[in-house]
């Protein structure tokens, strides 16, 4: 059978997201959530291998930007933590990744950031080119970005493309914990890109360094090196989460995105 016919034999495999939610995307473990509180012992934070949990005067906060989804907290303290489901996890502020969030403050600030972002990206419309840079990832994030071009996600239908040349790129998609050996190449890539430039940090490693933060060889995430516009937590984030982050950066999501909570 020629390849052309072979390409037709299974019909349309592509998701309807973001028009309609996708059952696979919404059935994904997003991050642990802090379940309705009560007093919690300070020792709870010790369960987290990346220091994502903080306990302040008996109230618990969990930083999704540090969480590597190992599930140790959910297993050990099921009354305090439970899984949240869904892939719409990305955020426009580093602080918005900390749950439970201070809602009033966050929402006012969010509206301002979204408006500013919308003006910046208006001209991009449906021709958006992405330059990816690996700044010290474990290799899994690259698979998930690559997956966005497979028939099930097919970002080309949304007018989004991966490009080789930074000169053609609108979005800098950064993965990895910020290996010091990659900071030079990362900076040179960014300088080679035209404005308006959007920076998306993909994965917990890119946001905070994850489990490899704090060594001699990494800077603990790329947020200190670049002005990050969108944070996509996850270790690695599934393709739907990365897609959500890209659409969030492009202001192409409904005004109140269905929160993973």
SS (H, E, C) 59-76: EEEEECCCCCCCCHHHHH
**What minimum distance in Å lies between the beta carbon of 76 and other proteins?**
7
**What minimum distance in Å lies between the beta carbon of 190 and other proteins?**
11
- The tokens for 237 are 């984030």
Burial class (CB in 10 A: 0-12, 13-18, 19+), 143: exposed
> Of 117 and 219, which CB lies nearer to other proteins in the complex structure?
219
- Total Cβ atoms within 10 A of residue 115: 10
- Farthest CA pair distance, the chain: 68
**What minimum distance in Å lies between the beta carbon of 6 and other proteins?**
6
**What minimum distance in Å lies between the beta carbon of 32 and other proteins?**
11
> Of 117 and 210, which CB lies nearer to other proteins in the complex structure?
210
For binding to other proteins (CB under 8 A), which residues are involved? 1, 3-4, 6-7, 10, 13, 24, 27-29, 49, 68-71, 74-76, 78, 132-147, 149-152, 162, 164, 173, 176-177, 179-186, 189, 205, 210-212, 214-218, 235-236, 238
Beta strand segments in 214-257, E: 230-232
Give the residue among 35, 101, 89, 97 at the shortest CA–CA distance from 63. Answer: 97
> Of 18 and 25, which CB lies nearer to other proteins in the complex structure?
25
> Of 92 and 222, which CB lies nearer to other proteins in the complex structure?
222
> Of 38 and 185, which CB lies nearer to other proteins in the complex structure?
185
**What minimum distance in Å lies between the beta carbon of 17 and other proteins?**
14
Helices (H) then strands (E): counts for the chain: 8, 10
């Amino acid at each position: 059978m020629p390849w052309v016919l072979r390409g037709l034999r299974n019909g349309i495999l592509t998701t309807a997201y973001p028009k309609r939610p996708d059952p696979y995307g919404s059935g994904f473990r997003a991050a642990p959530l802090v379940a309705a509180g009560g007093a919690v012992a300070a020792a709870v934070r010790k369960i987290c291998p990346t220091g994502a949990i903080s306990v302040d005067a008996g109230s618990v906060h969990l930083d999704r930007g540090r969480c590597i989804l190992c599930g140790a907290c959910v297993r050990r303290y099921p009354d305090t933590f439970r899984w949240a489901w869904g892939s719409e996890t990305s955020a426009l502020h580093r602080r918005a990744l900390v749950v439970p969030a201070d809602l009033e403050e966050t929402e006012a600030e969010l509206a301002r950031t979204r408006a500013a972002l919308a003006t910046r990206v208006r001209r991009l419309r449906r021709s958006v080119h992405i330059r990816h840079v690996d700044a010290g990832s474990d290799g899994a994030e690259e698979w998930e970005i690559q997956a966005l071009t497979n028939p099930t996600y097919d970002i080309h239908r949304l007018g989004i493309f991966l490009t080789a040349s930074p000169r053609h790129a609108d979005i800098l998609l950064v993965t990895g914990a910020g290996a010091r050996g990659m900071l030079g190449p990362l900076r040179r890539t960014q300088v080679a890109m035209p404005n308006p430039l959007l920076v998306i940090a993909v994965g917990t490693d890119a946001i905070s360094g994850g489990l490899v933060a704090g060594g001699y060889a990494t800077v603990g995430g790329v947020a200190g090196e670049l002005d990050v516009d969108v944070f996509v937590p996850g270790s690695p984030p599934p393709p739907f989460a990365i897609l959500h982050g890209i659409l969030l950066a492009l202001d192409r999501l409904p005004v109140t995105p269905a929160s993973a909570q």
